[in-house]
Structure 1
């Protein structure tokens, strides 16, 4: 049996589960940040948050699917586990990096707005 097919299935299952869970958490908690950017427009903030969630899903799930072409032939169960762990770790790292980058950008933007409103 081809171990790559098994690896693809396990990898996509694990990473998509992680992506969906993190996306749901960020979506639920993200309205606060978006509402700070556009006060008094709750429905617009909700729509922006939905678009951000969709973009997050497309970017990360698309990247996961594209990484499958870079896999080498897996010949042992040890190599299968190592490959899945390394590829999943890269996805988790990218998700966390994008999350912190978004928080940093939003925080800097809000600070700039607050500073400009004081002047």
Structure 2
């Protein structure tokens, strides 16, 4: 039995679910947040949020797929679980950092625009 293939499939399933779920939540709530930062420009806010969502999906799903090459040979079911948990934790950590960086960057940019006007 090839434990790596089993691990890959479980890992990609879990991380894809997490990425899609978090992306949907951030997109929904991000529209409100961006609209509040840039009032009276709903169309621009919607487009900004769509670009952020697309970049989020591409970056995270691409990273998840790329990490598969770094896996060592898995020889037991215990090692499958440990590897999946470790790799999934890294993805969750990266998602949270990206989320806060996006909020920080957007907030600083809008503050800069407000102070310049």
TM-score, normalised relative to structure 2? 0.92
- Using a 3 Å threshold, how does the CA distance of structure 1 residues 113 and 36 change in structure 2: closer, same or farther? farther
Question: What number of residue pairs does the alignment pair up?
Answer: 117
- 8 Å CA contact 1:36–1:110 kept in 2: the answer is no
| Contact kept? 1:33, 1:106, Cα under 8 Å | no
Ranges in structure 2 where 5+ consecutive residues have no aligned partner: none
**C-alpha offsets along residues 21-55 of structure 1, whole Å, 9 cap, x if unaligned?**
10001000111232244332212221221111111
Q: What's 2:22 paired with?
A: 22
Alpha-carbon distance in 1 for matches of 2:79, 2:45: 45
- Structure 1 residue runs of 5 or longer lacking an equivalent are none
Q: CA RMSD in A?
A: 1.4
TM-score relative to the length of structure 1: 0.90
Q: Distance in 1 between matches of 2:89 and 2:31?
A: 28
Aligned position for 1:72:
72
Distance 1:106 1:50 in 2: 14
CA distance in 2, matches of 1:88, 1:19: 11
The answer as to whether partners of 1:31 and 1:46 remain within 8 angstroms in 2 is yes
Contact 1:7 1:84 in 2 (8 A): yes
CA distance in 1, matches of 2:40, 2:54: 23
